A = this chain, B = another copy of it.
Amino acid sequence: MSFNEFPSRLLENAVNEFASLPGVGRKTAFRLVMHLLKRDADEVRRFGETIIRLHDEIHYCKVCNSISDSEICSICSDDKRDRSVICVVENIQDVMAIENTRQYKGLYHVLGGIISPIDGIGPADLKIDTLEEKIMSGGVNEIIFALSTTMEGDTTNFYLFKKLSKYNTSITTLARGVAIGDELEYTDEITLGRAINNRNLYQQ
């Protein structure tokens, strides 16, 4: 089935909107629209209004740049968090991933991307100045680099290290090694090599 002619302009517009989303083709878009037509009018109205409110009312935390419902996010305004540790991440998905481990009690700093010359993203496009200001204003004992283990992540780590190593703050990075559940024979050799070099004492 191709979609040259729509019986309704409204239908066509809705399909076009869904098809503009990444990874959604015209067939899927059509299927989603037909699904919405079968739903209650109230539900569809709520769907549309939620999307509109999303962009209009959402805030980016003034301290860490994460997404928030208010000017300062719930993590940055939480008195129980350790303000001496800042974990540097690429985006808010990474904040959520680390939060879900429930292992980290410090603060975050969302860069809003990583250095990627191929995508035209340089250091000036990232929130690096505000990170440096936080360190300069004192009270920060540790900066954790928690970026992807890709070429771009490594480049960004290197740039940040050059910029921040002059301050009296320890700079750490996430442990690299064989992921839990991974089979050794399918682990790539760089990961395996690092895991051997950084081996720990066995604990039962």
Q: Does A147 contact B (CB under 8 A)?
A: no
In the complex, the answer to whether B97 meets A8 with C-beta atoms within 8 Å is no
Q: Does A169 contact B (CB under 8 A)?
A: no
Q: Mark A1-42, 1 if CB is under 8 A from B, else 0.
A: 111111111110110010011111000101111111101010
Q: How far is the CB of A117 from chain B (nearest CB, A)?
A: 20
Q: Does A69 contact B (CB under 8 A)?
A: yes
Contacting A48 at CB < 8 Å: which of B6, B13, B52, B74? B52
Total interface residues in chain A, CB < 8 Å: 61
Contacts A/B (CB < 8 Å), 20 sampled: A2-B100, A6-B96, A7-B68, A7-B74, A7-B95, A7-B96, A8-B67, A8-B69, A10-B57, A11-B67, A17-B46, A22-B35, A34-B93, A36-B54, A37-B58, A41-B55, A44-B52, A45-B55, A49-B52, A51-B51
